[in-house]
Amino acid sequence: MIPHLCGNVRQWIGFTVGGLPDVRDREAEFREAPGISADDLRRLLNETMSQAVAILSTLDAARLGETVWTQDGPLSVLEVVYQVVGHFQQHTGQIVFATKLATGKDLQLYRPRKA
C-alpha cells in the first residue's frame, strides 16, 4: 500500500502541481516486492512526503484556484490537494482496520485527553 500512496502523491502533487516528471507506474505499485523492508518503506514514504511538503510549502496562494489537468480531468490545485489528502486518509483507514483484524489489538491511535 505504501508504494501506491507514494505513487499517488508523486503524480498528483509532484507532477501535476510541482511540474516534476511523471514517473508513476501504477500497476507496479500493487505487485509484491519481495525483500522490501519496513525501513525501505519508511524511507520511501518519508522521501515522498518531504518532496510534497517542499512543493506545497512554496506554493503561491494564488495558484490554489488555478486549473490543472489531472488523470481525472481538469481540477483546481486546491482540489488536487484535497484529492491526495482524501486518498491517503482512505487507505490509512484500510491499513488500520486490517491491522486491527489481523492482530486483534487496539492500536491506541486515539488517546482522549484526561480532564
Model confidence pLDDT, tens digit, residues 99-109: 999 999 989 88
- The structure's pTM equals 0.87
Domain count, the chain: 1
Q: Is the Cα torsion angle 36, 84, 86, 49 positive or negative in sign?
A: positive
* Measured distance CA(90)–CA(84) in Å, rounded: 10
In a domain, 109, yes or no: no
Q: Residue 7 maps to which CATH number?
A: 1.20.120.450
pLDDT band for position 92 (50/70/90)?
Answer: very high
Measured CA angle at 45 (ends 43, 51), to 5 deg: 100
Residue 2 contacts residue 49 (beta carbons within 8 Å): no
Partners of 41 in beta bridges: none
Residue-number span of the structural domain to which 21 is assigned: 2-103
Query: Is 74 within a domain?
Result: yes
Instruction: Report if residue 115 sits inside a domain.
Output: no
> At residue 33, does pLDDT exceed 80?
no
